[in-house]
Structure 1
Amino acid sequence: MPGMEDLVKLFNVWEIQLFVLLSFTLQIFLFFTGSLRRHSCSMLLRLSIWAAYLGADFVAVYTLGLISRLGDITTEMHTPGEISPLAFFWAPFLLIHIGGQDTITAFAMEDNNLWLRHLLNLVVQSVLAIYVFWKSIGRHSPVLIVSGVFVFVVGIIKYAERTWSLKSGCYKIFESSSGHHYKKLPHHDSAEKMDKDGYDSIVYITLCSMPRAHNIICGHDILSSEEDIDLVSSWWSIGDDSKKVIKIVGIILSVMYADLYTKALVVRTRSAIILRCISQMSAVVAFAMFFASDKQRYSKTDIAITYSLFWGGFFLELCAMFIFMMSPWTWAWLKVRKWDKLAMLSWLIFSSDLGWSEKKQCFVRSMGQYNYSSWMTGNTRARTFSQGVMAMVKWFAGLVHVEKKKIFWMSKLLDTECVDVDEFTMECIAGQIRLFRDVNSLVGYIRLSMLWNNLLASIPDFGIGIVALHVLTEKHLSEVHEANTAGVGMNMMEVCRKLSRYMMYLLATHPSMLPLSASPEAIFLKDPIELEFIVHGVLGLVLPSNRKKLLEELASVWARLLIYAAGKSRPERHMEQLSTGGEFITFVWLLMSSHGLGDSQLKRIGLTNTNPQERSLQQVYAFPDHEADSLEDAANSSEEPSSSEGEIGRVRERGEING
């Protein structure tokens, strides 16, 4: 086919130019979309960023290899059919592209763990770029060669920044650090003029709490210094203002995401700022020398591509400076040095819709949902396109007699959906956490009906208990909806439904975040007769006849199950989920930790206390068994201070960290 042969020849002629432009296009895409996943659960967006993230490195390295193979670079005019002699000048630009953008250095935590591989690649690709330059010496004007050397300096610095960021984001290194990058913070006297109820005060308190948050996330000993104790007190002082605490936790998660998956942690260090200034000055010098060099021997197309790389790089650097000014750390740094005008500019950018505005400052804005009925029966009405596709897959699988266990992995992908985390769900979780926090006081300790404790004590596995309670919840919500009972709040129904399906979503897609003794496949693919026996036992419970009261109890049950699971989860799992938009259980886990709850905190949360040998002075229960014993314990403990200061005082006297 002559047409196809001509197309192949044309591609061979312009191959390097096309790949250089493609590499730069991918960098622009990553810069403007890399931070969008912080607030999005869109699978299409994540797939696009993932493809661009992998493709950007591949295209840049491949193009650099193509350039290094050019043996016929001459100083002659570029004519159709010949290789561009200006291609050598693009090699350092490809190093800049491999260095990545400020908004994304790692797609997942595994990328951070491979920082040594990136360090090796830095050496190899740098040597390859030097080889390209060595081949070009004597074939181009000295001015152009020197201009390329300055671009090479920019590329090395960019690549080193990325490797440094990956190393800093590696969880093992992050965990072993002392948190010194969070301790150099402004003192409290810089916030005297702030409105105590304003957003700037919330941001300030968050930054002051970052050493405490670092200890929580890394699993370090809690309350290890006087400074940490003061920070805990600042948390407790606003502990009953749920909206403020929720905003603080959201900002902390946003800061942690930026520090682990972008260059934010590196670029605010003094060394990185100096290197970036050198990089920017080198880029300006390189552009000036290229502009002044003799370019008549080169193709106008190649010159236009080179200018595009320069101007595009300047544009991205300008946007990176905008991102730097948007950082809360930049605002705090300017504020403490009393550079009011610059601090005001930084705050305007930070609090705008383009930055971290107050109205959208909750890191986890959506939560996954999974309905067990859609897997077991397939009769549930498809709410999304992916669920409709899964329904067709299950129908076809049944038609050709394919075992269900072979398509369960597809159900985990297609049967899930995302819903907004509404204010009522947040308040339900925050209210239960406050109850656990105040468990030492008679006022704060509120119990549910005994049937929930007996039910959970009789179920052999936490995962099976979630499935059984989920079926019960769905059945009851369906009955309430059909009866259209007056006086039953729709908000409470939504809370029950969202929390129930969210726990099922975690069980199906993120089982490592739950305290399970069996895999999700072992639960979902369990013997139907055995599972049906457990579920029917739950459905046979005698529930309160007052539907409104039952809904309130169901909401409390699911909230406490989520809190219990969050308290048992591991910090590294939460940090991994930040790269995909974060999980609601991460938000709950950090909110609990701010109140001293969880396995690594002063108070652990158990599931039930039916076994007396498992009782502990430092452990509270989501579903206590003996009301009289619990009241007696609460009365005895009420003689001691019930506030956080009292608990801290007792820890000081004992000289202990954990009970």
Structure 2
Amino acid sequence: MQATEGLVKLFNEWEIQLLVLLSFALQLFLFYAGSLRRRTSSGFLRFSTWMAYLGADFVAVYALGYLSRHDQDETREANPLAFFWAPFLLIHLGGQDTITAFSMEDNNLWLRHLLNLLVQGFLALYVFWKSIGKLHNAVLLVSGALVFVAGIIKYVERIWCLEAGSQRGLESRRRSMQEWRETMRNVTGMIFLDAAGYALTVLEALVTMRHVMGVLVSSGDVCAYSHLTGRVKVARLQLGLMYDELYTKALVLRTRSWLIFRHISQISFVAAFVLFHVTVDKRRYTKADVAITYSLFIGGFFIEASSVLNSMMSPWTWKMLKDHKWERLAKFSWFLFSSDIGWPEKKQRWPCSFGQYNFRSWLASNSSDRDQPRTFGQRVMAVVRRVMVDLVHVNKKKLFWMSKALDTWYMDADELIIDKYVAKEIILLAKELDGTPAREWPILGSLLEFIEAQLDSDFATAIVTMHVLTELHLRRYPPPSDMAAAAADDVAFSLAQVCRKLSNYMMYLLVVQPSMLPLPFSSLRVLEDFQSKENVEVEMQIAEDDLSPSKETVEEMVYMWTRLLLYAAGKSRAEIQAAHLTSTGGELITLVWLLMSFSELGDSRLWALRMIKTSDTDSAKEIYAFNITNQQAADISNIDEDEVVEEFFLGEENEL
């Protein structure tokens, strides 16, 4: 009992010190986690970042409240220097350059953060005002006032970035970028003449960012540089840039007025440290309090220096230095930007991974038909299912919520899927607008027509149906047994792997990210209905038996899943895609959505996307993912795939 009382007393004596150190530790974690979450699918990192993001403000506000409620005698006797830490807590509330918002909702709630700034700024000022009679050195008050200035600037920066990243802020910035684009065109023209390779790709991504802004606010504007933006590499860079625009302080670091305020903040912080270090008599305070104060200063310097280095890695910084002909600094910026710690071309992959979920494996009652566990989570789920379902006979529907979390896995982004199939199908859809005949479906046409009602009105059911049927069919493509295997079998197996990835990805979206799909009602109802059907696989097998295994069959399945992905992307709303820029290092469907916008395809662009066309009736401003009319369609298999990919990567000659 005495030991417990002693621990409580010790905690009460050191509570403010622990709170301040915890607040700083959370800021340090957020600085590094904020830069990592854009390129990782780690659920643990996302969860810990979310907890730190929520906890950082809570700890800082609680610490300010703690200081404000202590009377004069108690505070002087315990730790008089603690009042000097109040402005540091305001700096912590200003957040880090690498993360201003955890989600799009934080941006849209910027007014709430503004109210918090007024309340917490007043609270910090009140605590600091109380410290006038408690600190023994007038110079310490001046030093604290300088830190207070830095804290206010930091917090206002955060509010401004949140407002700029909201839907209203994006619309306002898009309009202002009309004049900016003309300036950009004049200033950047000479840079384009000397640029080549990756540098040219980066410049094109920067120049056409106004188009991406317009897409995000569902603007109907046609991009003046649309012929420049039809490239996968450019789109990937732009998604990375847009992530920075929405969820970091990148905008502050390239705005002249805010750069001036940032320099004022930095100078104030340095001056505060010099005054504290040189003129304040440290013997008046405990060694622990002095050490904590030095830790706050040195830690602040470290984070600020890292922020400067991080800003030098920005493509906007590199372009600004090139515009002003500061060649040495521009070369240093490019070196950081293109190095492994920056945005290297070889690692410039958005998304860096994409999710997978095999629903047919979950439906299987026979353990031999289930996928072998790939991850630790799947191994845990396999044990739970074996015990609870196979032995205890619990209805597996009751465990589906666990499967959604544990049976999901992530694979590295498949360049073949993006560069060959997605790019090719987008271009073919766009060519149909110019009169090019639609893709034929000689093998799957009758099946698509049979499930036409599902495709048009019940997208979730269509995905599950085709997913199960695809999984049943792909079992008929075993890997080549030896090096002497026929080339056709090898190609068919490779196509089957691509088809399985696309099928599993669409199921992953349906199970884990249903808001990204055009669903008329909850996906959970559809998933539960399929789990209740006892003969669902038998019914699918009957349909699958009509499909003979061949390279042509599985290739047509790949194109079918690609078209389903394009349809889902074309129906998606801009705010949904913006909100999911932070998920799992970016979603594949977001990249597809942006690539389609460059060709003005999609419901929010010029040409609305419909699912299936079974008659020759034309619809204005509409294009179809599946055209299975009786009209003769030209064979498009002879299209040069390398030429299609080159069109996406290189585009036409730019006019700059």
TM-score by structure 1 length?
0.88
1:87 counterpart (82, 89, 98): 82
Offset from partner CA, 1:33-57 (integer Å, 9 cap, x none)? 1111111111011111111111111
Aligned counterpart, 1:428: 421
After superposition, residues 535-546 of structure 1 pair within 5 angstroms as 536=539, 539-541=542-544, 543=546, 545=548
The separation in 2 between residues aligned to 1:174 and 1:539, in whole angstroms, is: 51
Aligned counterpart, 2:641: none
Aligned counterpart, 2:385: 394
After superposition, residues 156-167 of structure 1 pair within 5 angstroms as 156-167=152-163
Q: Do the aligned residues in 2 keep the contact of 1:366 with 1:421 (CA within 8 Å)?
A: yes
Aligned counterpart, 2:650: none
Aligned counterpart, 1:563: 566
Q: How far has the Cα of 1:439 moved from its partner? A: 1.6
Q: Do the aligned residues in 2 keep the contact of 1:75 with 1:297 (CA within 8 Å)?
A: no
Q: Do the aligned residues in 2 keep the contact of 1:103 with 1:262 (CA within 8 Å)?
A: yes
The separation in 1 between residues aligned to 2:245 and 2:218, in whole angstroms, is: 17
Q: Do the aligned residues in 2 keep the contact of 1:366 with 1:420 (CA within 8 Å)?
A: yes
Q: How far has the Cα of 1:446 moved from its partner? A: 2.9
Offset from partner CA, 1:274-301 (integer Å, 9 cap, x none)? 1111111111111121121222211122
Q: Do the aligned residues in 2 keep the contact of 1:72 with 1:83 (CA within 8 Å)?
A: no
Q: Do the aligned residues in 2 keep the contact of 1:468 with 1:535 (CA within 8 Å)?
A: no
Q: Could you list the runs of 5+ residues in structure 1 that have no partner in the other structure?
A: 77-81, 240-244, 633-643, 645-659
Change (3 A) 1:444 1:285: farther
Q: How far has the Cα of 1:595 moved from its partner? A: 2.1
Identical pairs, percent: 49
Q: How far has the Cα of 1:442 moved from its partner? A: 6.6
Aligned counterpart, 2:405: 413
Q: How far has the Cα of 1:395 moved from its partner? A: 4.0
1:344 counterpart (314, 320, 331): 331
Q: Do the aligned residues in 1 keep the contact of 2:472 with 2:541 (CA within 8 Å)?
A: no
Which deviates more from structure 2 when the two are superposed, residues 406-415 or residues 517-526? 406-415
Change (3 A) 1:325 1:612: same
The separation in 2 between residues aligned to 1:18 and 1:234, in whole angstroms, is: 54
Offset from partner CA, 1:511-543 (integer Å, 9 cap, x none)? 221122231111111165768469725742564
Residue aligned with 1:473, SS: helix
Residue aligned with 1:368, SS: strand
Aligned counterpart, 1:331: 318
Aligned counterpart, 2:131: 136
The separation in 1 between residues aligned to 2:441 and 2:107, in whole angstroms, is: 44
Aligned counterpart, 1:368: 355
Offset from partner CA, 1:371-415 (integer Å, 9 cap, x none)? 112322363222211122223333444355554444332222111
Change (3 A) 1:440 1:117: closer
Letter in 1 for 2:591: F
Aligned counterpart, 1:499: 502
Residue aligned with 2:54, SS: helix
Aligned counterpart, 2:639: none
Offset from partner CA, 1:221-241 (integer Å, 9 cap, x none)? 122xxxx33x11323xxx4xx
Offset from partner CA, 1:126-165 (integer Å, 9 cap, x none)? 1111111222213322111111111111111111111111
Letter in 1 for 2:299: G
Q: Do the aligned residues in 2 keep the contact of 1:144 with 1:293 (CA within 8 Å)?
A: yes
Aligned counterpart, 1:219: 218
Residue aligned with 1:363, SS: coil
Aligned counterpart, 1:471: 468
Q: Do the aligned residues in 1 keep the contact of 2:350 with 2:588 (CA within 8 Å)?
A: no
Aligned counterpart, 1:4: 4
Q: Do the aligned residues in 1 keep the contact of 2:239 with 2:350 (CA within 8 Å)?
A: yes
The separation in 1 between residues aligned to 2:407 and 2:441, in whole angstroms, is: 32
Aligned counterpart, 1:648: none
Aligned counterpart, 1:288: 274
Please, what is the CA RMSD of the aligned residues? Answer: 2.4
Which deviates more from structure 2 when the two are superposed, residues 41-50 or residues 372-381? 372-381
After superposition, residues 163-312 of structure 1 pair within 5 angstroms as 163-181=159-177, 183=181, 185=184, 187=186, 188-196=188-196, 198-223=197-222, 228-229=223-224, 231-235=225-229, 239=230, 245-291=231-277, 292-312=279-299
Residue aligned with 1:103, SS: coil
Matched, 1:146 2:142: yes
Letter in 1 for 2:621: Q
Letter in 1 for 2:379: G
Q: Do the aligned residues in 2 keep the contact of 1:74 with 1:139 (CA within 8 Å)?
A: no
Q: Do the aligned residues in 2 keep the contact of 1:607 with 1:621 (CA within 8 Å)?
A: yes
The separation in 1 between residues aligned to 2:453 and 2:122, in whole angstroms, is: 65
Letter in 2 for 1:333: M
Q: Do the aligned residues in 1 keep the contact of 2:101 with 2:247 (CA within 8 Å)?
A: yes
Aligned counterpart, 1:649: none
Letter in 2 for 1:474: E
Q: Do the aligned residues in 2 keep the contact of 1:165 with 1:265 (CA within 8 Å)?
A: yes
Q: How far has the Cα of 1:349 moved from its partner? A: 1.1
The separation in 2 between residues aligned to 1:394 and 1:2, in whole angstroms, is: 48
Q: How far has the Cα of 1:481 moved from its partner? A: 1.6
Q: Do the aligned residues in 1 keep the contact of 2:253 with 2:259 (CA within 8 Å)?
A: yes
Q: Do the aligned residues in 2 keep the contact of 1:38 with 1:363 (CA within 8 Å)?
A: no
1:598 counterpart (598, 602, 605): 602
Q: How far has the Cα of 1:75 moved from its partner? A: 9.4
The separation in 1 between residues aligned to 2:388 and 2:113, in whole angstroms, is: 44
Larger RCO (CA within 8 A; separation ≥ 6): 2
The separation in 1 between residues aligned to 2:95 and 2:313, in whole angstroms, is: 19
Q: Do the aligned residues in 2 keep the contact of 1:437 with 1:597 (CA within 8 Å)?
A: yes
Q: Do the aligned residues in 1 keep the contact of 2:338 with 2:344 (CA within 8 Å)?
A: yes
Offset from partner CA, 1:178-211 (integer Å, 9 cap, x none)? 3425635353522344343x10000001111111
Q: Do the aligned residues in 2 keep the contact of 1:334 with 1:340 (CA within 8 Å)?
A: yes
Aligned counterpart, 2:612: 608
Residue aligned with 1:137, SS: helix
Letter in 1 for 2:409: E
Letter in 1 for 2:88: F
Change (3 A) 1:156 1:128: same
Offset from partner CA, 1:73-120 (integer Å, 9 cap, x none)? 5897xxxxx411100000000110111100001111121122111111
